[in-house]
Amino acid sequence: MANDFYKVLGVSPGSSEKEIRSAYRRLARQYHPDVNPGNAKAEERFKAINAAYEVLSDGESRKKYDRYGDQWQHADQIEQMRRQGGGGQSFGFGDLGDLADRFGGGPRGGRGGGIFDSLFGRAAGRQRGADVEHTVRVSLEEAFTGAKRTVEVSEGVETCRICGGEGQLAGATCHACRGSGSAAPVRRIEVAIPAGVGHGTRIRVAGRGGPGASGGASGDLFLRVEIRRHSRFERRDDDLHLVVEVPVAEAALGSEVRVPSLKGKTLALRVPPGTQSGRTFRLAGQGMPRSGRGRSGGQGGRFGDLHVQVQLVLPDPITAEQRELFERLQASTEQTAGNPGVSADAARETS
């Protein structure tokens, strides 16, 4: 056998359940990662100890292991093949290796993909792990640049491997399960949120979901992205929309307005004389990245546009001087409106 579970625990094949449990606890305390921080060899030994105990602590699994060794998980399929072969023939370790060589793949054949793999693979009751879905929330800035998130995926509730489900170790409360006797192992997975991701997008991370059973493939991890509302920008597909306030005098005479952008730069927008409130200007290429489309524009490909809507504002409060100027403007406007020299056609052109 490639990995003798009895040797891993330092016990003999005839050891009792109590002896196996005692050996496991002693070794688990000795090689636990908390006792050996940063020791990779101790961590690998700890994993091997857990794997061995998981099999030998279960009576049915141990019987299969005693008979079929490394192929104990395929015991039912081996027995079925024996029955179909007739004659009450039984298989031992050597027979199993010969069978693997004969049909292709397996412990000694090493070729893989043959009839043996088919019988002891897909037919072995392998079950694919469950898909797992998480919601991740990102800011609009993070959706623009891309981001990383660390998510925790539970591997289900199982008996605590440190205390064997008793909740205690050497008379003290087990630190791993905190006395409950059970644990929910959690994996921390770092995932990338691509630039330009949209609200409600589902990102698939293959093979990072729930673990499979009996050697089956792991499920997938799906991340559902939610983008938090921004205080200034409104997103519509790949375009961004923004309202900027412009003093009425600057809109009347024309000016240059500073406009923020998600690229981290302040843009200069030229507002022509006579600009009315509500007028919208389009700044090409200043919106959200369009992932995977186009060759220019950085990691996100081409960008959408930024639409800037002008909102005129009056001075607040209005000073006496400003009030006088507005009164003069009003009088001038009324005089122009009542001037018979202005034709109807001209009025339509200037309205």
Spell out a b/e string for 167-182, using b for 16 or more CB atoms within 10 Å of the CB, else e. bebeeeebebbeeeee
Mean pLDDT is highest, among 2-16, 85-99, 171-185, for 2-16
pLDDT at residue 288 tops 90: yes
* 229-276 tens-digit pLDDT: 999 999 999 999 999 999 988 989 999 999 999 988 899 999 999 999
pLDDT, residue 168, reads 78
Confidence of residue 121 (pLDDT cuts 50, 70, 90): very low
pLDDT, residue 67, reads 86
DSSP state of 152: E
Which is nearest to 192 in space by CA: 145, 157, 133? 145
SS3 256: strand
pLDDT at residue 91 tops 70: no
Strands (E), the chain: 132-138, 147-154, 158-159, 168-169, 172-173, 182-183, 186-193, 202-205, 221-227, 234-236, 239-247, 255-259, 267-271, 280-283, 306-313
pLDDT, residue 302, reads 87
* 126-163 tens-digit pLDDT: 788 778 888 889 999 999 999 898 887 766 566 676 77
pLDDT, residue 132, reads 81
pLDDT at residue 221 tops 50: yes
According to CATH, where is 2.60.260.20 located in the chain? Answer: 132-227, 234-314
- Is domain 234-314 classified as CATH 2.60.260.20? yes
Between 120 and 47, name the one with better pLDDT: 47
Contacts (Cβ under 8 Å, ≥6 apart) of 174: 160, 162, 163, 166, 167, 168, 181
CATH topology of domain 132-227: HSP40/DNAj peptide-binding domain (2.60.260)
pTM of the predicted protein model? 0.50
pLDDT, residue 27, reads 93
Confidence of residue 125 (pLDDT cuts 50, 70, 90): low
Strands (E), 62-167: 132-138, 147-154, 158-159
Q: How far apart are CA 165 and CA 181, in angstroms?
A: 4
* 41-86 tens-digit pLDDT: 988 898 889 889 888 998 888 988 888 887 777 777 777 666 655 4
Instruction: Please give the mean pLDDT across all residues of the chain.
Output: 77
Between 153 and 284, name the one with better pLDDT: 284
pLDDT at residue 115 tops 80: no
pLDDT, residue 300, reads 41
pLDDT, residue 182, reads 67
CATH superfamily of 5-124: DnaJ domain (1.10.287.110)
Backbone angles phi, psi at 50, to 5 degrees: -65, -45
What number is the average pLDDT over the span 16-27?
Answer: 91
In the block, residue with structure tokens 């406007």:
333
Between 174 and 102, name the one with better pLDDT: 174
- Contact of 28 with 172, CB cutoff 8 Å: no
Mean pLDDT is highest, among 166-170, 297-301, 319-323, for 319-323
Confidence of residue 170 (pLDDT cuts 50, 70, 90): low
Supply 261's token pair. Answer: 């952008």
What number is the average pLDDT over the span 209-221?
Answer: 77
Give the max Cα distance, the chain. 120
Q: Lowest-pLDDT range, 90-104, 181-195, 317-331? A: 90-104
What distance lies between CA 154 and its chain's CA centroid? 13
pLDDT at residue 38 tops 60: yes
